[in-house]
Structure 1
Amino acid sequence: MSERSGRTTHRGGPVLLGVRHHGPGSARAVRAALEQCRPAAVLIEGPPEADELVPLAAQEGMRPPVALLAHVQDDPGRAAFWPLAEFSPEWVAMRWALAHGVPVRFIDLPAAHSLAQRDDEGTADDQEAADEVTGGQEARSGAEARIDPIGVLAEAAGYDDPERWWEDVIEHRGSGGAGADALAPFAALAEAMGALRETYGDGGHDRDPAREAHMRLRLRAARREFGDDLAVVCGAWHVPALARRTTLTADRQLLKGLPKVKTAVTWVPWTHRRLSRRSGYGAGIASPGWYGHLFSAPDRPVERWLTKVAGLLREEDYAVSSAQVIEAVRLAEGLATVRGRPLAGLTELDDAVRAVMGDGTDAPSSLIHDRLVVGEVLGEVPEDAPAVPLQQDIDRSRRTLRLKPEVLERELELDLRKETDAGRSRLLHRLRLLGIPWGEPTRSRGSTGTFRETWRLRWEPELAVRVAEAGIWGTTVLSAATAKAASEAAGAAGLAEVTALAERCLLAELPDALPVVMQALADRAALDADVGHLAQALPALVRSVRYGDVRGTDAAALREVATGLAERVFVGLPPACLGLDADGAAEMRGHLDATHQAVGLLGRPESERQAGGELRARWAGVLRAVSERDAVPGLLRGRATRLLLDDGELGDGGAERLMALALSPGNPPTDAAGWIEGFAGGGDGGMLLVHDARLLALVDGWLTGVPDAAFTDVLPLLRRTFAEYETGVRRTLGELVRRGPATAPRHPVGDAPDAAVPGFGPGLDRDRAAAVLPTLRMLLGIGQHGFDDEQPDPSRPAGDSRPADDLTGART
């Protein structure tokens, strides 16, 4: 070491700092080494195209975790990420260099080459290079041929868990105290990796030779520019290759002929969850929240961690005292001593929390894992970071609408009558149409009105790639969504696709795209003669008309198409119901229900009351035709009868007549069982039988008369029908069948029985009605506040001498 211009330098050539990506111990060691060496430039493993983006890392608006995103300009879907957290050695080196005015250069293989070499599985070279822990983590593809360097070293040290060995040796290692050589750990790790490279060569990483050749070329260029006073931060696995002497010609030969594409690079927000191996991105750490804690709290990490755990559990209404925190610290440290660990790790801390704070259960474990071990951190990037025009427009829109990307999933309730909420809905619907699912619509819990929408929002880092992909459609969200909708309408294969697209265009309020979609819809509707397709397309059209009314959008043309489509369904449905097998009948039943609901919605607006009434009348005629044709499967005849009954289209005794015909002995039992399934199937069918004694008696009588030979055939159908009823409904039906026919009601002497409501019992039982009068008097205070039965009753006719109880019972 020597002193030169106030800088302590290393005179032996470039300092190679081999690290494990996203390792807090490596990050602290890199910072200490840079403070000791004070290099003239810092070289970092990463795509050289990102050199110009380095100054953004020093801005206040940059908050890790973040990632470098590189994508092919003409094909944004071909992309790669280089994630960086606050405890990543590369991030620490970058921030140290910016703070000390030291130039930073990225030296890995350019993204232009690595993205051009993307394999068939969609994994780019540099995606693997960025995500794998060179010197640590198992490879994600070709794992059979690739070695795990940390696993080999851990096995040599007598550990069965590579992660535990790395934590004991690196992450839990102290700074070594004042005066310690900060380069010693890197020298020891380089020696270990050198031995592994001598034994295993490239270890199955067949693309590493080209990457390492490019690193050596960039290192030579940096030495010519800055001299030997350099620090290189790279994966420990690459250190022996960078230290090896090679010729310039040999390195260039390894890079000769590599494919190349035009790329764009920017910073994007990242999350701790995406740093976790469990999320699908093998970033080398299963516990980014824990590693962030180790990096930010090097002193007393056990005590600080368990304090965080206690605070979290208290927020979730767990009773955790200070004494329990102290006891958990002692237990974790004791377990670490018994197990021969320098510091309590997550295993010991989890055991301590389970024993002391969890009362021996795993109840709080998943909460602690999600909120602390993995963490819920979303990074931020400056507003002036390079971005495609579409991303810039999205950012402007979300700021105007006060929508902030969040890593946690949350529900957003929108009232479409409010301007801001309507704008939020438009933005979210347009983004979904562009394939950017920032939000997913879900069922509203508080209201079923069409003026309300509920969205489940969650921002994922890969949405940045989706935005780049959608950028080919336009520079703004509106223009891009319009262009894509028009393109999808032209290329749609079926009628249902176009109707669904029309609904999405209406929800997203794309006035310029809707005429194109409507023309495509009219063309396909005119050519499609399949009733199933028409019936499948009708509900989406009707929903579009309904939402158009709510949003103030002119949907008159859409209503015309929907009405015309409904009329075509009316004509073609009865013939289409003939000769269907069981599967076909079940599918047609769904079309029957969907069309029935759609017709009801089409007739709702006040201005179209007459037209809507005519439409419903025609639909009732179609249902009658289906319900009375013997060639139609029983399932469909029963369903049509039920729909007519619910709409009040059957006269007195109409349902009983159709049911009696369907359940007559001349019909096959399986067809009769299908009729019952269509008529009484579904969750509300049971209540109909509970309240209509005549229909229940018909079903009961038919069932008791089914021959033994046919009973086993109809049993599965009946069981499927009645299994859909709630437990209480089934119990009530069983009780009604057990009682048998209802007995005649008792009436006071001289009184005529009240008229019975058809199907709903024999009439009012006055004795049972009078039994509730004492309770009613007590609740209403009659007889306690000066009211009694002797007071005149204004509702009693003149000359009526019947007892007051009798009159009250009649009124009840």
Structure 2
Amino acid sequence: MTATPRGSGAAPLLLGVRHHGPGSARAVRAALEAHRPRAVLVEGPPEADAVAGLAADPGLRPPVALLAHALDDPGRSAFWPLAAFSPEWVALRWALEHDAVVRFIDLPAAHTLALTEPDAERSPEGDVPPPEAGPPPRPDPLAALAEAAGYDDPERWWEDVVEHRGTAPGGTAAGPHDPYAPFTAVAEAMTALREAAPASGGGVHERDALREAHMRLRLREACRTHGDGAVAVVCGAWHVPALAGAHPVTADRRLLRGLPRARTEVTWVPWTNRRLSRAGGYGAGITSPGWYGHLFTVPDRPVERWLTKVAGMLREEDVAVSTAHVIEAVRLAETLATVRGRPLAGLTETVDAVRAVLCEGSEVPLALVRERLIVGHDLGEVPSSAPAVPLQRDLTRLQRTLRLRPEARERAVELDLREPGGAARSRLLHRLRLLGVGWGEPVTGRAGGTGTFKERWLLCWEPELSVRVAEAGVWGTTVEAAATALLASRAAEARALPEVSALAEQCLLAGLGDALPTVMRALADRAALDTDVARLASALPALVRAARYGDVRGTDARALAEVAEGLAERVRVGLPPACAGLDADGAAALRTHLDAAHRAVALLGVAGLRERWRAMLRGVTARAGAAALLRGRCARLLLDEGGLAPEEGERLVARALSPGTPPPEAAGWLEGFLSGGGMLLAHDERLFALVDGWLTGVSAQGFTDVLPLLRRTFAAYESGVRRTLGELVRRGAGTGGSRGSGAPQAPRPGFGPGLDPRRADAVRPTLELLLRGASAHHRPEPEPEPEPEPDHDHEHDVRVEVAR
């Protein structure tokens, strides 16, 4: 028998559960209280026996997970998550509180990790393990039972049958019941499912066969030591029939013989509710851990208490919710449960009631309810006595010292680098990013970002970061030592100059002064050998940022500044010849590097270098054979920073757009000159007139050729700038001669204060159809559109098309 009270038979007590089910957890506690076993066997890796006693430590607060990782490859790992409402956690705590022996009986992690692909994320705790290549996956037992009962949702079926069992309609506890009855019923159902599985093509999963063989061996061992009736087993319901039946010991041992092994280490790590709610990867597949935790902890009236909690959260967010709202929501939830034939209002009914009454039909506050209460932001805690790699211990110490506590919810942190505390926190976060521990992500913008006195970070601790910390432990025993070793190794292996310059910037951001000499040597070597102007230019910005803002972080960056200045000189000398002989793609790529290098030179702030840089830009604008895009871009850069007088800039535009210049070349020059913002064109009437005159003078075929370039240029402008330019075109601004001329200018056809009746008549039929919105048989036949006059119409179309 699977649920025999102790003393009435020789069979061990087999408690088949649903992992992370509060109803199962309550039933397990009741059955253990009634049976009082001397040994409790729990589904989990046997290597965790060494750390099972930590479950009695008040510092170990769920949600937590057992983490097993290979010593020689920490990235190969597996988790066994446990929440406060997990039956395994309840069994573990009961055994420790009652001085019972507790053992884990699942397949050892040494085999699990050795059998798992290195890059495959795995969560071996679920009733339905991820399918492997080869054998067909077995069906979801809960889904099969729910379908047999007439449910289309396994979660709803489980709530009705298990989670609400033993609770009266009013929300109070029902009378006494047999503590073994639910496990007997579940065992019978699982036995029937397993017997029907071969006929349906499901069969027994290969990994299940290995796990169950090891469970049986551990169960026999415990029964020999403590007696059959003194042993209780808590495992997934699917495995109960395999443990209750008779299986030869030799067959089980033969099945496990020769399995690969990996040297492993097991410890406890914090877990989160959000991870519990994920079905794949390291998740547990519980869609509502916050709701399940509520059902497990409340003594009575779960619906009333839940809706009161929801109302309190909404009030904190300034949502007007009264006591009357809560009362009406409770009534609606209970009514919905009655209409739907459910014994008690479940999550579906409470969500519907919250949406209709507390949120007044809005999904916005309901999203907060789902995020904060239905899922929740709980993050477990692990005591310092738990085994951990030295790097994890150092990180925990730094988090405590710097008051930078890990949290499961995403939060923004602003750091002032001029303060010792802010600079220390910044260094820690940058060092962790170097080590691949993405606890924080920097946010660029006005409030912070790299290279300012303040940094803004988004922090969110995810459980798998514990694996990343274990992986990074091969580089050192402290965060600083590990980041220094890793950075020096990357600098020695880097082949591209931009990669080394990025490492130099990271070195200063992370405050790794010991690694800077190694990075500087690699930087000097790569810079001396690299002759490609594009690579030199792409490496310059990171170096300049590091040199410019090193003093903010208290880092001596003089050596970097010297390297950056030398690199800028090489870019200045090599850029003019590199601008010749380029196709359109090559010119566009070099323009990106030119812009970045120009900003870097301005940021470097070396007076002599800036003057020489301006002279180089002026030379490119007049260089024969240079790409038109780059000549125009250099002219615009000079004009923006005062290197060209406005009149001189207008002369360059007039020369580039002269009738003798082929339209594609003129359009390329114009793209380079106008890119980067259109406010210059919007506010300079003379420049607007020059561009407008060139556009209206382009032939029809030439305009077709240059239209893609022009569209690309104007499409990059903000919508407000485009509207301003369109308004200028509509009013005919800048169309008549030189700036400052007092003579009135004749409006072009189609523009000006008056209307053009011929053009208005052309669109009248279409406009009437739009206004009517009548059916097809009521629509009048559209009048034929008049033939446009060839002269000024082409000019108008050109202007409108570009403005559009």
1:715 equivalent in structure 2:
707
2:74 equivalent in structure 1:
76
Amino acid at match of 1:672: A
In structure 2, distance between residues paired with 1:168 and 1:445:
52
2:792 equivalent in structure 1:
none
Per-residue deviation at 1:725?
Answer: 3.0
Alignment counterpart, residue 93 of structure 1, candidates 87, 91, 94: 91
1:592 equivalent in structure 2:
594
In structure 1, distance between residues paired with 2:514 and 2:52:
42
2:13 equivalent in structure 1:
15
Q: Deviations over 1:328-367 (max 9, x none)?
A: 1111111111111111112211222222223233333222
Question: 1:64, 1:86 within 8 Å by CA — same for their partners in 2?
Answer: yes
Aligned pair in 2 of structure 1 residues 81, 313: CA closer, same or farther (>3 Å)?
A: same
Aligned pair in 2 of structure 1 residues 58, 77: CA closer, same or farther (>3 Å)?
A: same
Q: Name the % identity.
A: 68
Per-residue deviation at 1:422?
Answer: 0.8
In structure 2, distance between residues paired with 1:589 and 1:741:
30
Question: 1:692, 1:760 within 8 Å by CA — same for their partners in 2?
Answer: no
Amino acid at match of 2:395: I
Per-residue deviation at 1:371?
Answer: 1.0
Per-residue deviation at 1:721?
Answer: 2.0
2:381 equivalent in structure 1:
380
Alignment counterpart, residue 164 of structure 2, candidates 153, 158, 172: 172
2:752 equivalent in structure 1:
none
Amino acid at match of 2:614: A
- Unpaired stretches in structure 2, ≥5 consecutive residues: 168-172, 743-804
Question: 1:217, 1:248 within 8 Å by CA — same for their partners in 2?
Answer: yes
In structure 2, distance between residues paired with 1:741 and 1:465:
65
Aligned pair in 2 of structure 1 residues 536, 703: CA closer, same or farther (>3 Å)?
A: same
Amino acid at match of 1:188: A
Aligned pair in 2 of structure 1 residues 82, 436: CA closer, same or farther (>3 Å)?
A: same
In structure 1, distance between residues paired with 2:388 and 2:586:
52
1:580 aligns with 2:555: no
2:501 equivalent in structure 1:
499
Per-residue deviation at 1:296?
Answer: 1.0
Amino acid at match of 2:139: I
Per-residue deviation at 1:81?
Answer: 0.2
1:108 equivalent in structure 2:
106
Per-residue deviation at 1:533?
Answer: 0.6
Question: 1:274, 1:280 within 8 Å by CA — same for their partners in 2?
Answer: no
Question: 2:121, 2:282 within 8 Å by CA — same for their partners in 1?
Answer: no
- Matched residue SS, 1:364: helix
- Matched residue SS, 1:22: coil
Per-residue deviation at 1:281?
Answer: 3.8
Moved more, 17-26 or 179-188: 179-188
Amino acid at match of 1:104: V
1:705 equivalent in structure 2:
697
In structure 2, distance between residues paired with 1:681 and 1:103:
74
Moved more, 307-316 or 110-119: 307-316
2:185 equivalent in structure 1:
188
In structure 1, distance between residues paired with 2:371 and 2:135:
28
Per-residue deviation at 1:466?
Answer: 0.1
Moved more, 621-630 or 418-427: 621-630
2:637 equivalent in structure 1:
643
- Matched residue SS, 1:332: helix
1:791 equivalent in structure 2:
none
Q: Deviations over 1:436-473 (max 9, x none)?
A: 01111112534687221111111100000000000000
In structure 2, distance between residues paired with 1:437 and 1:656:
51
Moved more, 342-351 or 234-243: 342-351
Per-residue deviation at 1:730?
Answer: 3.3
- Matched residue SS, 1:493: coil
Amino acid at match of 1:693: E
1:529 equivalent in structure 2:
531
Amino acid at match of 2:454: R
1:748 equivalent in structure 2:
none
- Aligned positions of 1:139-538 closer than 5 A: 145-174=137-166, 177-200=174-197, 203-228=203-228, 229-277=230-278, 280-446=281-447, 450-538=452-540
In structure 2, distance between residues paired with 1:35 and 1:622:
86
Alignment counterpart, residue 628 of structure 1, candidates 622, 625, 629: 622
Amino acid at match of 2:197: Y
Per-residue deviation at 1:690?
Answer: 2.7
2:647 equivalent in structure 1:
653
1:546 aligns with 2:548: yes
Amino acid at match of 1:359: E
Per-residue deviation at 1:119?
Answer: 2.8
TM-score by structure 1 length? Answer: 0.86
Aligned pair in 2 of structure 1 residues 284, 741: CA closer, same or farther (>3 Å)?
A: closer
In structure 1, distance between residues paired with 2:391 and 2:672:
51
Per-residue deviation at 1:218?
Answer: 0.8
- Matched residue SS, 1:455: strand
Q: Number of paired residues?
A: 728
- Matched residue SS, 1:27: helix
Per-residue deviation at 1:490?
Answer: 1.5
Q: Deviations over 1:391-415 (max 9, x none)?
A: 0001111111111001111111111
Question: 2:412, 2:457 within 8 Å by CA — same for their partners in 1?
Answer: yes
- Matched residue SS, 1:150: helix
In structure 2, distance between residues paired with 1:471 and 1:482:
12
Per-residue deviation at 1:584?
Answer: 1.3
Amino acid at match of 1:61: G
Question: 2:76, 2:118 within 8 Å by CA — same for their partners in 1?
Answer: no
1:799 equivalent in structure 2:
none
In structure 1, distance between residues paired with 2:186 and 2:489:
56
In structure 2, distance between residues paired with 1:574 and 1:438:
44
Aligned pair in 2 of structure 1 residues 261, 730: CA closer, same or farther (>3 Å)?
A: closer
In structure 2, distance between residues paired with 1:712 and 1:276:
56
1:694 aligns with 2:702: no
Question: 1:22, 1:284 within 8 Å by CA — same for their partners in 2?
Answer: no
In structure 1, distance between residues paired with 2:8 and 2:691:
95
Per-residue deviation at 1:736?
Answer: 4.1
In structure 2, distance between residues paired with 1:295 and 1:728:
56
Per-residue deviation at 1:139?
Answer: 5.8
- Matched residue SS, 1:411: strand
Moved more, 439-448 or 232-241: 439-448
Per-residue deviation at 1:592?
Answer: 0.7
In structure 1, distance between residues paired with 2:697 and 2:420:
64
In structure 2, distance between residues paired with 1:144 and 1:210:
16
Question: 1:692, 1:761 within 8 Å by CA — same for their partners in 2?
Answer: no
Question: 1:693, 1:761 within 8 Å by CA — same for their partners in 2?
Answer: no
- Unpaired stretches in structure 1, ≥5 consecutive residues: 2-6, 604-611, 745-758, 764-812
In structure 2, distance between residues paired with 1:321 and 1:634:
69
Per-residue deviation at 1:486?
Answer: 1.0
Question: 1:140, 1:282 within 8 Å by CA — same for their partners in 2?
Answer: no
2:793 equivalent in structure 1:
none
- Matched residue SS, 2:115: coil
- Matched residue SS, 1:414: strand
1:772 equivalent in structure 2:
none
Question: 1:138, 1:147 within 8 Å by CA — same for their partners in 2?
Answer: no
In structure 2, distance between residues paired with 1:563 and 1:284:
56
Q: Deviations over 1:235-269 (max 9, x none)?
A: 01111111112222221111100111110110000
In structure 2, distance between residues paired with 1:525 and 1:67:
48
In structure 2, distance between residues paired with 1:169 and 1:665:
85
Amino acid at match of 2:207: R
Aligned pair in 2 of structure 1 residues 583, 741: CA closer, same or farther (>3 Å)?
A: closer
Question: 1:94, 1:104 within 8 Å by CA — same for their partners in 2?
Answer: yes
Question: 1:9, 1:39 within 8 Å by CA — same for their partners in 2?
Answer: no
Q: Deviations over 1:189-248 (max 9, x none)?
A: 111111112222574421111111111111111122222201100001111111112222
Per-residue deviation at 1:98?
Answer: 1.2
- Matched residue SS, 2:384: coil
Per-residue deviation at 1:142?
Answer: 7.7
Question: 2:688, 2:734 within 8 Å by CA — same for their partners in 1?
Answer: no
In structure 2, distance between residues paired with 1:103 and 1:238:
21
Amino acid at match of 2:29: R
